[in-house]
Amino acid sequence: MQVVTLITTPTERNLDAALVDNLRNAWGGGDAHWLAIDEAAEFAIPSVPDNQWEVWADLQAACVDLVIQPHEGRRKKMLLADMDSTMIRQECIDELAAEAGVGPRVADITARAMNGELDFEEALIERVGLLKDLPVEIIEQVLDERITHMPGGYELVQTMKAHGAYAALVSGGFTAFTSRVAATLGFDENRANTLLSENDKLTGDVGRPILGKAAKVEALQEITARLGLTAADVLAVGDGANDLGMLKLAGTGVALHAKPTVQAECDVRINHGDLTALLFLQGYSRDEFVT
């Protein structure tokens, strides 16, 4: 048995009941269950329809995300999340670069690396090199003034944890940022790269080994083994090419507002919903959210 989930933008809340019913009827689905009125609904179908992606494309034009997945086992026991442009709206290295006066150059490298056009580790080393001599105190300033959380992140982490799940934040960014974001949102642990400093200034280098695509996969494997879980128990979420390994390995890998090359390789894509969409995908209704 498969479950179809339809989710629209939470600020608009304009999911049409007629659209849901028409699709349910066309696919021979069961009764529709509204997870949030005018925002998210689901229904069961016997098998994945042949025209899934044609319908997906049509619904994207209507600002509606469509996900089809097996009903059994969709409520996960572990959340593994990327940070930059996933749990926060920004790329932390781009924000540091803006303070260092090299914002456009670093942002261009970041965009190309996240789209898989550049080697992640080489791109990180190059970008960090451009931050040399930036005062360490700027990190706190950027955290206070430039970093904002992605909507729905707190609800996602806290709701899953309230139902016994474990939450890990694994980033190709920096521990100076993940430690605060993880503490604020309620993650159980966080892993990231370390910016090196000397005499209260950044040296322009990053600690080794660099946490990249392979390290995110290793984190998934290590944490699940420690907790007695399997990859099938994991919901992973990210947006960049360096997230693809963990997204493909996890039981549910969600490409959230992701780069085109990432979306092309993921079956679960959220382009219009916020992070609460990941709760709807697991069958949680909005009145079950921890806020």
Would you place residue 3 in the very low, low, confident or very high pLDDT band (cuts 50, 70, 90)? Answer: very high
pLDDT of residue 59: 97
Mean pLDDT calculated for residue range 35-57: 97
Catalytic residue among 82, 239, 243, 274: 82
Q: Where in the chain is the domain with CATH 3.40.50.1000?
A: 75-90+148-290
Would you place residue 212 in the very low, low, confident or very high pLDDT band (cuts 50, 70, 90)? Answer: confident
CA dist., res. 153 & res. 85, Å (int): 12
The kind and range of the H/E element at 175 are: helix 175-185
Q: Which residue is it, tokens 């969709």?
A: 74
pLDDT of residue 209: 92
Homologous superfamily (CATH) of 75-90+148-290 is HAD superfamily/HAD-like (3.40.50.1000)
For the domain spanning 1-72, the CATH number is 3.30.70
pTM: 0.95
Active site residue 82: yes
**pLDDT at residue 12 greater than cutoff 90:** no
Q: Where in the chain is the domain with CATH 3.30.70?
A: 1-72
Mean pLDDT calculated for residue range 221-239: 98
Active site residue 84: yes
pLDDT of residue 115: 87
Mind listing the pLDDT tens digit for each residue in 176-210?
A: 999 999 999 999 999 999 999 999 999 999 999 99
Q: Is the dihedral of CA 16, 17, 22, 25 positive or negative?
A: positive
Catalytic residue among 38, 58, 65, 84: 84
